[in-house]
A and B are shown apart, each in its own frame.
Chain A
Amino acid sequence: DTGVSQDPRHKITKRGQNVTFRCDPISEHNRLYWYRQTLGQGPEFLTYFQNEAQLEKSRLLSDRFSAERPKGSFSTLEIQRTEQGDSAMYLCASSPGVDEQFFGPGTRLTVL
């Protein structure tokens, strides 16, 4: 499968714990995006990488959230000290340099 992959697909954690998600984009896609989607809402932009550089981060994003793309390939999104309001689907998308995006299956986070 040469699509965008995300791991894990589901994560259940207790409030206050740290979680880390991984996204592997389509090979040679230089742009990588992270979104959060809650029930009944469209995806909400979190952050964006071009190669290894993090070019934009949503003003709405708490300091508890951090993302990296160290070698310009896979990316990780970490949430520290999780809160119940962090429960959502976390989507990763990659883009080859034009305006289309290809989405991964998402990681569903449940914070108890």
Chain B
Amino acid sequence: EDKVVQSPLSLVVHEGDTVTLNCSYEVTNFRSLLWYKQEKKAPTFLFMLTSSGIEKKSGRLSSILDKKELFSILNITATQTGDSAIYLCAVEALGQNFVFGPGTRLSVLP
């Protein structure tokens, strides 16, 4: 059965800290891995990763994929209170079915 696991499930940091969120997966016929940010509404897209070792970067956020070890990390540097959200990892598997992890709830305190 396809599975996506995220850790930690919950994280509390202070503004300015750097955080690393983890996503590991077991899926049939991997196609891509996606990261989303979800606040009090539907998820919004952050990154799509298809190749190992190539870092994707957007401002203070960056992400990288390791297809050999079957995981990805999402880094957020110099965190701000506006980064508080649930960060979802999803993997596109065989048949174009997306499997989501449970999410990491990040709380950034002022």
Contact count A vs B, C-beta below 8 Å = 56
Proximity string of chain A (76-112) to chain B, C-beta cutoff 8 Å, 1 when within and 0 when not: 0000000000000001010000111111111000000
Bound-state Cα–Cα, A91 to B101, Å = 16
A62 at interface (Cβ–Cβ under 8 A)? Answer: no
Q: Which of B79-110 contact A (CB under 8 A)?
A: 88, 90, 92, 95-103
Contacting pair A100 B42 (CB below 8 A): no
Q: Which residue of A lies closest to B101 (CB)?
A: A42
Contacting pair B99 A45 (CB below 8 A): yes
- Chain B contacts of A50 at CB under 8 A? 96
Bound-state Cα–Cα, A105 to B44, Å = 10
B11 at interface (Cβ–Cβ under 8 A)? Answer: no
Contacting pair B102 A101 (CB below 8 A): no
B34 at interface (Cβ–Cβ under 8 A)? Answer: yes
- Chain B contacts of A93 at CB under 8 A? 42
- Chain A contacts of B97 at CB under 8 A? 45, 48, 56
A42-B103, A99-B31, A100-B34 known; A48-B42 Cβ under 8 A: no
B68 at interface (Cβ–Cβ under 8 A)? Answer: no
Bound-state Cα–Cα, A98 to B50, Å = 12
Of the residues B31, B45, B103, contact of A101 by C-beta under 8 Å: B45
Proximity string of chain A (56-79) to chain B, C-beta cutoff 8 Å, 1 when within and 0 when not: 100000000000000000000000
- Chain B contacts of A44 at CB under 8 A? 100
Q: Which residue of A lies closest to B86 (CB)?
A: A42
Q: Which of B40-55 contact A (CB under 8 A)?
A: 41-45, 48, 50
Contacting pair B48 A100 (CB below 8 A): yes
- For the complex with contacts A35-B100, A45-B98, A101-B45, 20 further pairs of A-B residues with Cβ separation under 8 Å are A31-B96, A40-B102, A42-B4, A42-B90, A42-B101, A42-B103, A43-B43, A45-B100, A48-B96, A48-B97, A55-B95, A91-B43, A99-B34, A99-B50, A99-B92, A100-B48, A101-B34, A104-B42, A106-B41, A106-B42
